[in-house]
Chain A
């Protein structure tokens, strides 16, 4: 795993930026690649992403187009997944919904983890008053029934689009991760390399972003993955009651909500989107669980 010496010069020129010499990560990458769960999950996810973006292009029907003569038709050569009550092509609808669900999940997860990392790291590093205030806010947010808050707020922000929805999802989901990050920060800040940095005069903020957060990157990555599936599921649940993505946007959640009322009579309107959702969440969960084993040295069960 040795690196050519020129690399050192590059690193030096790049000035304090986090230039990651791939030496360390190549090992991690290897570890990740031989975890079958991660590979399987990643392959599933990739297939879903391709389907979501390429599918609508292949389908003969447009997203908003309605086939007036074919309402509630079962799957056929013309309508691969059948049609819904007003004659829209279920395949195209589902694929567009899948796109939205994937985007919402990813963005919300990244945002959630970022908020959690900052709040948790500052609380755990500074302790004292900072910690009390931040943790008090965290506790308050934990006590608030976040489903209810989302449901109240959403109609008021309805016109603002689904990005607002993403922000709301993140704003109500960061607390548990923040507590975990705080706990880890408290133990990391006693590590001797953090003390060493402090005693050489490195500023607190720099220590947090340079030493503490990078050293829990495995926790953060794993947690972000889990948050992706949590966000997707939360979106589905909210959409079921009409508090989520609003027409004309569709997501898997809103499709499931539409289809669930008639799942026995017209199963294609329910089962295709539900099946895709389950596969999507499972793929993400598999990646997250596999990454935990690959990245977290403590979870190595052997040797």
Chain B
């Protein structure tokens, strides 16, 4: 088992490194950090620009292979992603922003998946009844709305709600009120006020996807022999479904989780951008518009680590849920 984990880890590392390298090379070849300095008012001297670009390892006069070499050396030897275009440490920025995004993802995923699975399973049991139809209609509607539109609409709705009630109930700018000093409960409430809309945005799409998927998986096992055996034992249909069918139907959902995770990460970009959170998702867009090559590579690295972690997690969950894949 240990040898396996090690092998898997190495292959993960290789994939992550390649993905980051690919993003770095792509960004270095297409983005032009030079324009950032060219457009400064007043424009610095040519010499100063070259010096600054060289310092940041962003000079397009240096061959790309050499820049890449420098980047790899710093990364491998010092674990250093270099400097942002504003000459800040990329590592520090990652440390700051990753927390923001992870909080959003973990809460949003937990909420979306669990509610989605519960509703999907219940719809399957109540197939073609009122609840199923309502849940299906809701899921179809949500799936048809891009995250961007959900986020914007919820923001507008919140703005309208605040205007009408005259209370700033929902907050939609940033993760918390800067400089707030309201003790533990006050801070928590403030965080909740800020967090509820972005989390819901993320959770809604997940809920829709998972409820559909879980419903289909559940329907697949409803007619299976072991559910019939459970009922033949004397379990009621309901008990047989909950104890035998749902448990088994959860297994393929775990794999589905890995597949949706990439889409979820893209979703954080819009959510963070629209609600003004300074997380990794928003940085995806910002780093590109700012021609920030090192940041692009770091963001890619983070995203790749997240995808790998999700896939690893789902493997573990899979092995835990399904005795058939365990190695004795």
Direct contact of A and B (CB under 8 A): yes
- The answer, among A149, A278, A280, for a CB contact under 8 Å with B141, is A278
Number of interface residues of B (CB under 8 A): 45
In the complex the two chains form, is B16's CB within 8 Å of A143's CB? Answer: yes
List A contacts of B159 (CB < 8 A). 264
In the complex the two chains form, is B270's CB within 8 Å of A237's CB? Answer: yes
In the complex the two chains form, is B140's CB within 8 Å of A155's CB? Answer: no
Number of interface residues of A (CB under 8 A): 43
A299 within 8 A of partner (CB):
yes
Q: Would you give the shortest CB distance from A159 to chain B, in whole angstroms?
A: 13
In the complex the two chains form, is A145's CB within 8 Å of B288's CB? Answer: no
Q: CA A237 – CA B265 in complex, angstroms?
A: 13
A93 within 8 A of partner (CB):
no
List A contacts of B161 (CB < 8 A). none
Max count, chain B CB within 10 A of own CB: residue among A145, A263, A282, A301:
A145
Q: Mark B1-34, 1 if CB is under 8 A from A, else 0.
A: 0000000000000011011001100110011000
Q: CA A254 – CA B252 in complex, angstroms?
A: 37
Q: Mark B196-219, 1 if CB is under 8 A from A, else 0.
A: 000000000000000000001001
In the complex the two chains form, is A241's CB within 8 Å of B273's CB? Answer: yes
Judged by DSSP, the binding face of B is helix
Max count, chain B CB within 10 A of own CB: residue among A152, A176, A280:
A152
In the complex the two chains form, is A142's CB within 8 Å of B262's CB? Answer: yes
Surface stretch bound by A, among B45-53, B142-150, B320-328: B142-150
List B contacts of A185 (CB < 8 A). none
* Interface residue ranges of A125-170 to B (CB < 8 Å): 139-140, 142-149, 151-153, 155-156
Interface residues of A (CB under 8 A from B): 139-140, 142-149, 151-153, 155-156, 176, 179, 229, 233, 236-237, 240-241, 243, 256-257, 260, 263-264, 270, 274, 277-282, 285-286, 289, 298-299, 301
* 25 intermolecular pairs with C-beta atoms under 8 Å apart: A140-B22, A143-B16, A143-B303, A145-B23, A145-B299, A146-B262, A146-B266, A152-B31, A153-B30, A155-B30, A236-B148, A236-B149, A237-B266, A241-B273, A257-B148, A260-B148, A260-B149, A263-B156, A264-B156, A277-B146, A278-B141, A280-B144, A286-B140, A299-B220, A301-B219
Interface residues of B (CB under 8 A from A): 15-16, 18-19, 22-23, 26-27, 30-31, 127, 140-141, 143-149, 152-153, 156, 159-160, 216, 219-220, 259, 262, 265-266, 269-270, 273, 284-285, 288, 296, 299-300, 303-304, 307-308
